[in-house]
């Protein structure tokens, strides 16, 4: 996952001028004795990007190697957010890759979601898994959500990179919204998703059992969203 972390960061830096955001010291690097947990958190911002977060988590028991990230555009753009998560166990890998669609209108899907189709079709052999109920409104026909054997990791990494490059290309071509009413609708759609993520993401409970509920809540509020 370290290699994927570096590759994603370099791809973003090639397209976007990033500004590092200083996180609270107690959230930047969280460690537990005996290397039971090593968790490193990073935030950046950029022109027309409200937040980019990266997190690397290594858990000793049970063994997990985790890389998660997201790109949240400013509501000046109607671009979806981009989310990507990998959680590797010894034998399997959970993967979630998605463009978080703001609206269900056909014109929006044609512009921002349908371009994912060709990439998705190259990786549709990877067995999917049904996502949690709260996520259903934010899934698209081309969302990757799966927990297959680790033999699929190479393909999943390639798929994630292709989706990221497509997203960055869309970002580079995006235009600032001029209509104030539409801009407000975009802002509300972004907020609705962030609120749903903060309230329902299962990893929040998992982390709460390891680092304490208060710190896990702060991680989601101050780092992830």
Please list, in sequence order, all residues whose beta carbon lies within 8 angstroms of the beta carbon of residue 33, skipping any fewer than 6 positions away: none
What is the spatial distance between Cα 124 and Cα 81, in angstroms, rounded to a whole number? 22
* Confidence band for 206, pLDDT divided at 50, 70 and 90: confident
Structure tokens at 200: 């329902």
Q: What is the mean pLDDT of the chain?
A: 95
Is 8's pLDDT higher than 90? Answer: yes
Q: What is the mean pLDDT of residues 107-136?
A: 96
Give the relative orientation of helices 153-173 and 2-15 as an angle to the nearest 10 degrees: 20
In this structure, whether the domain defined by 2-224 belongs to CATH 3.40.50.300 is answered with: no
Residue 3: other Cβ atoms inside 10 A: 9
Query: What pLDDT does 208 receive?
Result: 86
**How many percent of the chain have pLDDT more than 90?**
88
Is 98's pLDDT higher than 90? Answer: yes
Query: What pLDDT does 209 receive?
Result: 84
Q: Residue 33 — φ and ψ, nearest 5°? A: -55, 155
Q: What is the mean pLDDT of residues 116-122?
A: 98
Residue with structure tokens 């990033």?
Answer: 18
Domain ranges in the chain are 2-224
**How many percent of the chain have pLDDT more than 70?**
100
Whether residue 2 contacts residue 31, with contact meaning beta carbons closer than 8 Å, is answered with no
Whether residue 59 contacts residue 210, with contact meaning beta carbons closer than 8 Å, is answered with yes
Whether residue 43 contacts residue 199, with contact meaning beta carbons closer than 8 Å, is answered with no
Query: What pLDDT does 124 receive?
Result: 95
Whether residue 225 contacts residue 197, with contact meaning beta carbons closer than 8 Å, is answered with yes
Is 35's pLDDT higher than 90? Answer: no
Query: What pLDDT does 56 receive?
Result: 97
Query: What pLDDT does 147 receive?
Result: 97
In the chain, alpha helices (H): 2-15, 25-28, 106-112, 117-122, 153-173, 180-200, 202-211, 213-218
DSSP letter, residue 73: E
């Amino acid at each position: 996952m370290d290699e994927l972390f570096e590759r994603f960061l370099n791809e973003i830096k090639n397209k976007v001028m990033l500004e590092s955001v200083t996180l609270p010291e107690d959230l930047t690097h969280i460690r537990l004795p005996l290397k039971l947990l090593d968790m490193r958190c990073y935030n950046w911002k950029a022109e027309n990007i409200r937040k980019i977060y990266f997190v690397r988590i290594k858990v000793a028991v049970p063994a997990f190697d985790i890389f998660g990230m997201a790109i949240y555009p400013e509501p000046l753009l109607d671009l979806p957010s981009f989310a990507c998560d990998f959680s590797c166990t010894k034998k399997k890998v959970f993967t979630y890759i998605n463009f978080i669609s703001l609206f269900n209108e056909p014109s929006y899907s044609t512009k921002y979601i349908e371009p994912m189709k060709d990439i998705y079709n190259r990786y549709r052999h990877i067995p999917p898994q049904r996502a949690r109920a709260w996520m259903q409104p934010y899934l698209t026909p081309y969302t990757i959500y799966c927990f297959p054997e680790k033999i699929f990791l190479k393909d999943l990494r390639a798929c994630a990179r292709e989706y990221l490059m497509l997203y960055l290309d869309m970002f580079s071509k995006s235009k600032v919204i001029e209509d104030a009413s539409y801009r407000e609708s975009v802002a509300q759609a972004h907020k609705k998703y962030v609120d749903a993520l903060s309230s329902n993401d299962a990893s929040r409970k998992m982390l709460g059992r390891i680092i304490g509920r208060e710190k896990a809540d702060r991680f989601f509020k101050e780092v992830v969203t």
